Amino acid sequence: MDHTIAIAGAGYVGLVTGACLASARRRVIMVEVDPERRQTLVEGRVPIYEPGLEPLLRAALDAGHLRVTDDWEDALAQASMVVVAVGTPPRADGRADLTAVEQVIATVRAGARPGTVLVMKSTVPPGTSARLQQQLRGEPFAIPIVSCPEFLREGAAIEDVRNATRVVVGGLDRDACERVAEVMGVPGAEIVRTDNTSAELIKYGSNSFLALKISFINEIANVCDLMGGDVDAVAHGMGLDPRIGRAFLNAGLGFGGSCFPKDVRALDQAAGRYGYSFWMLKTAIEVNDQQRMRFVSKIRAAVEGPIEGKRIAILGLAFKPGTDDMRQACSVDVAMRLMELGAEVVAHDPVAMEKAAPMLPGVELAESAYEAVAGADCVALVTEWPEYLHMNWNRVRHLVKRPLVVDGRNCLDRDEMSACGFTYHGMGRQPGVVLWGRRATDRVRLESEGVA
Ligand SMILES: NC(=O)c1ccc[n+]([C@@H]2O[C@H](COP(=O)([O-])OP(=O)(O)OC[C@H]3O[C@@H](n4cnc5c(N)ncnc54)[C@H](O)[C@@H]3O)[C@@H](O)[C@H]2O)c1
């Protein structure tokens, strides 16, 4: 069955979903409230940095498979499926703010035609869709809500949607769930059919579990710093156990972004409303918050002596490489704390400078990474963009005031940095266990060089 699909919200999730569906020759109508964002999209430009998205969107617009509008009446008159992809940002107390989702529900209830299915892609707390279903049950016809949470990663979003390992469809209306499975399913993905609340919990459970893994390995790194032991070796050895797995065991500054921090807090809040204290989540958040300040402490210890007036070059501002998303980025807390301590902070990011600027008052923004490090007392690596890994560190050595690197992502090669004349500080990395502490990728390289 062919569907016209209306998508509410042209953000990361809505745009990527829309562009991928349109490239599979579905008819897509993107409904976006922000006029500036709409205009940008109509011109075939994408307001976010996401590799591969702009050409995909432009092709869909040119082929007439996708259009962008704010006209809900028209969209609802044509669509047989409405995908909700609006934001669910955190409130001050950590609860998810569902204002935008509720606005869309009210609009759909007022204008949808019979047979419309509502697909909940926004991340909403467990129980939300079941509650909203009550509002859409009524007269003159019911609009089934199918929960279909999104698992894409910014920076690899298109690939993630096309190569999804699972597509979750949760709801009570079997026919509606099958329609959603048919539209959202991709070859090779297992369709997980369940109820709405379980679907919502799969999303929160997945993000929370990954956040726990990150905070866990960060605690191991902190212990390595105190006791000795090298976190790379530990993570590699642990990760070889298939029950554990190597992914998300990279110690460093911790998680940020628009999803992990907010979703972990929201699940904790939601559980709390049922009288359940989800201690592991509280701890994961606490460890994550502390990790940023530990990094600052490392910088303070590394510069030896007062940090006041010291010039610290921050490399990387986006919450991770491959995106310009600054939501909950570690860089902001790190930079602001260094400024509070009286340091002079200069920063660079390959794509996030425009979004970062208003969040970093008083921070000097450099045109290039080399400009950022010039005259620095310490280089603090915050986001592991490939261009920083492949910098000419010999050249950097001659630009900095002091050859000091604090690597918040454990992504630079300690030996290469030493060979270039830098004093290197990682997170839980120890100089005494060089060869045995190599990660698998390094070991391959060493083997090919005949070193290992
Ligand atoms: N960004 C991610 O990596 C990611 C991954 C998985 C899930 N999610 C979840 O998906 C949802 C959307 O996230 P995002 O990052 O794409 O958000 P976003 O903030 O980038 O985009 C949301 C868009 O919705 C628009 N909007 C708000 N109200 C609207 C309305 N009533 N009608 C039409 N448009 C409206 C906004 O203007 C904005 O363009 C959130 O619940 C998020 O938790 C995000």
**Beta-strand runs (E) in 140-265:** 145-147, 166-170, 190-194
Distance 184 CA to ligand 1 centre (A): 18
DSSP state of 139: S
ω into 350 cis (within 30 of 0): no
* Residue 252 DSSP class: S
Establish whether residue 68 lines the binding site of ligand 1, counting it when its CB lies within 6 angstroms of any ligand atom: no
- To test the pocket of ligand 1, the residue of 98, 101, 150 to mutate (highest count of ligand atoms within 8 Å of its CB) is 150
3 state SS of 304 = coil
Structure confidence at residue 432 (pLDDT) = 54
| Catalytic option among 259, 378, 411, 420 | 259
Task: Give, as one character, the DSSP assignment of residue 102.
Answer: H
Is the CB–ligand 1 distance for residue 103 below 6 Å? yes
The hierarchical CATH code for the domain 4-194 is 3.40.50.720
In this structure, are residues 296 and 334 in contact, taking their beta carbons and an 8 Å threshold?
A: yes
Specify whether the CB–CB gap between 103 and 96 falls below 8 A. Answer: no
pLDDT of 70? 97
Is this prediction's pTM over 0.95?
no
Ligand 1 mutation target, pool 15, 34, 86, 103, most atoms within 8 A of CB: 86
> For 302-315, b where at least 16 C-beta lie within 10 A, e where not — what string?
bbeeebeebbbbbb
Q: Kindly state if the Cβ of 150 falls inside 6 Å of ligand 1.
A: yes
- β-strands 344-348, 166-170: how paired? unpaired
Atom of ligand 1 nearest to the CA of 149: 7
CATH assignment, 208-448:
3.40.50.720
Residues 205 and 268 sit within 8 Å (Cβ to Cβ): no
Cβ of 99 closer than 6 Å to ligand 1, yes or no, is no
Structure tokens of 324? Answer: 């310009």
**Is 259 tagged catalytic?**
yes
152 CB within 6 A, ligand 1 = yes
Nearest atom in ligand 1 to 10's CA: 39
User: Cα(148) to centroid of ligand 1, in Å?
Assistant: 14
CA of residue 192 to ligand 1 center, whole Å: 23
- Equal CATH topology for 4-194 and 208-448: yes
Domain extent listing, the chain: 4-194, 208-448
> Measured in angstroms, how far is the CA atom of residue 427 from the centroid of ligand 1?
33
Q: Is 260 in the pocket of ligand 1 (CB under 6 A)?
A: no
Which amino acid is located at 223 in the chain? V
**From CA 240, how far away is CA 413, in angstroms rounded?**
22
Instruction: Output the CA 316–ligand 1 centroid distance in Å.
Output: 24
Which residue owns the Cα nearest ligand 1 atom 19?
Answer: 87
Residue 86 CA to ligand 1 center (angstroms) comes to: 3
Q: What is the pLDDT along the chain (452 residues), one digit of tens a residue?
A: 467 999 999 999 999 999 999 999 999 999 999 999 999 999 999 999 999 999 999 999 999 999 999 999 999 999 999 999 999 999 999 899 999 999 999 999 999 999 999 999 999 999 999 999 988 887 678 999 999 999 999 999 999 999 999 999 999 999 999 999 999 999 999 999 999 999 999 999 999 999 999 999 999 999 999 999 999 999 999 999 999 999 999 999 999 999 999 999 999 999 999 999 999 999 999 999 999 999 999 999 999 999 999 999 999 999 999 999 999 999 999 999 999 999 999 999 999 999 999 999 999 999 999 999 999 999 999 999 999 999 999 999 999 999 999 999 999 999 999 999 999 999 999 875 544 444 434 433 333 332 22
Cβ 217 vs Cβ 251: under 8 Å: yes
Ligand 1 within 6 A of CB of 86: yes
- Residue with CA nearest ligand 1 atom 17: 87
Nearest Cα residue to 235 out of 223, 253, 217: 217
Say how many Å lie between the CA of residue 88 and the centre of ligand 1. 7
Closest CA to 251 of 274, 217, 294, 210: 217
